[in-house]
Copies of this chain bind each other. A is one copy, B any other.
């Protein structure tokens, strides 16, 4: 395990309120690009008209897709935004709630907001950088020695 202090300077807290039909990952990454975010984390609650979740298959080294084709509550959405090359890349995991209270969750690939998603994003002055992990093939946050 490696550690890095993210706030040698002040952090900025931003409320992001998504509108109906916003796609979550693309909207987060566009915001991060426009505001030059280099290391952020977020939590969110809200609701979706649908989503595609992912499960990382360790043998295939690829995500299985889990479609969620119904109105669901976003019970928890936790994630971070780090730099992959020069591009901000959002990494988020979600737990979604169905009509009967049962839950479905995974790595968030695609999600369509309805009626809203309330995101609290904290932006740090430090950099977090992703590098391809040779064993998994995934772009993981790398903290230098």
Contact A115 B135 (CB under 8 A): yes
A38 to chain B minimum Cβ distance, whole angstroms, is 12
Q: Main SS of the interface on chain A?
A: strand
The yes or no answer to A36 lying at the interface (CB within 8 A) is no
Q: Report how far A3 CA is from B117 CA in the complex, Å.
A: 12
| CB 8 Å contact bits of A108-145 with B (1 = contact, 0 = none) | 00000011101010101010100001011010111100
| CB 8 Å contact bits of A77-94 with B (1 = contact, 0 = none) | 011100000000001111
Which residues on B sit within 8 Å (CB–CB) of A16? Answer: 1-3
Contact B39 A100 (CB under 8 A): no
Q: Report how far A133 CA is from B13 CA in the complex, Å.
A: 24
16 A-B pairs with C-beta separation under 8 A: A1-B31, A3-B17, A7-B11, A15-B128, A17-B143, A20-B135, A43-B43, A44-B78, A45-B78, A45-B91, A58-B71, A73-B93, A75-B94, A95-B97, A115-B135, A115-B140
A8 to chain B minimum Cβ distance, whole angstroms, is 9
Contact A75 B47 (CB under 8 A): no
A143 to chain B minimum Cβ distance, whole angstroms, is 5
Contact B13 A98 (CB under 8 A): no
Q: Report how far A91 CA is from B143 CA in the complex, Å.
A: 25
Which residues on B sit within 8 Å (CB–CB) of A91? Answer: 45, 118
